[in-house]
């Protein structure tokens, strides 16, 4: 609980709005390992009708060595949630937040993603059916940049009005904007701007909630 509060306080002090929430379990820091930083951006496509601005996105991450543990549960998971309010960057095509999370060195994986939206009447959820195992490594005293994740709405069509509109379902489009995000990292985390900012290439197959 204390680590979560510290992460949220750090986000507020660096100018990040309440639109981005990060939770890291206290247990991750009990062994006093060396640490590095997980860096990326989470946001939305803003082009109509595929805009994902109205989707709430959660990325769940865990250490690889806990993936098969019968004792593991969601209380042991790193979560990054964004409701697309405010943000660190915005243009006619995309908007979003930069995140920087201190973590003990080691191998981690994105194993699940959830997007919540609405069709105007009820809440709709898009999520993966099985663990994804999208892996990356945190190295000591380095920033590991895993790219940008943009919420995109699946498009519905009104036969009556012949109009397209966001359906309430969505997915994350993954890519890299290292030059933009490295500048944002130096601006919002000046205490770490001299830290090596390394590209961590993610390998995965397109699925229902994450696409290249």
Burial 112-133 (b: 16+ CB within 10 A, else e): bbbbbbeeeeeebebebeeebe
pLDDT tens for the 212 residues of the chain, in order: 434 434 443 443 334 446 899 999 998 888 888 999 999 999 999 999 999 999 999 999 999 988 776 445 667 899 999 999 888 999 999 999 999 999 999 999 999 999 999 988 899 999 998 999 999 999 999 999 999 999 999 988 877 777 887 899 999 999 999 999 999 999 999 999 999 999 999 999 999 999 99
What pLDDT is recorded for position 72? Answer: 52
Q: What's the 3-state SS for the chain?
A: CHHHHHHHHHHHHCCCCCCEEEECCHHHHCCCCCEEEEEEEEEEECCCCCECCCCEEEEEEEEHHHCCCCCCCHHHCEEEEECCCCCCEECCCEEEEEEEEEEECEEEEEEEEEEEEECCCCEEEEECCCCCCEEEEECCCCEEEEEEEEEEEEEEEECCCCEEEEEEEEEEEEECCHHHHHHHHHHHCHHHCCCCEEECCCCCCCCCCEEC
Residue 49 belongs to domain spanning: 2-211
The per-residue pLDDT for 52 is: 93
pLDDT at 18: 64
Q: pLDDT value at position 144? A: 98
Q: What is the pLDDT of residue 197?
A: 97
Number of domain units in the chain: 1
Q: Tokens in use for 201?
A: 């290439």
pTM over 0.95: no
Task: Please tell me the predicted confidence (pLDDT) of residue 33.
Answer: 87
């Amino acid at each position: 609980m204390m680590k979560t509060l510290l992460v949220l306080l750090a986000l507020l002090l660096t100018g990040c709005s309440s639109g981005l929430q990060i939770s890291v379990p206290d247990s991750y820091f009990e062994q006093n390992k060396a640490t590095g930083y997980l860096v990326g951006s989470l946001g939305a496509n803003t082009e109509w009708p595929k805009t994902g601005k109205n989707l709430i996105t959660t990325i769940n991450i865990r250490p690889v060595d806990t993936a098969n543990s019968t004792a593991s549960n969601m209380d042991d998971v790193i979560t990054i949630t964004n409701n697309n309010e405010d943000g660190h960057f915005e243009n006619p095509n995309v908007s979003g937040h930069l995140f920087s999370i201190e973590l003990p060195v080691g191998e981690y994986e994105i194993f699940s993603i959830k997007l919540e939206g609405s069709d105007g009447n009820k809440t709709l959820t898009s999520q993966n059916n099985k663990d994804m195992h999208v892996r990356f490594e945190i190295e000591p005293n380095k920033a590991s940049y895993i790219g940008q994740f943009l919420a995109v709405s699946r498009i519905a069509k009104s036969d009556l009005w012949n109009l397209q509109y966001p359906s309430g379902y969505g997915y994350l489009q993954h890519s890299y904007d290292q030059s933009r995000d490295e500048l944002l990292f130096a601006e919002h985390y000046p205490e770490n701007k001299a830290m090596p900012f390394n590209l961590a290439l993610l390998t995965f197959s397109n699925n229902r909630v994450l696409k290249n």
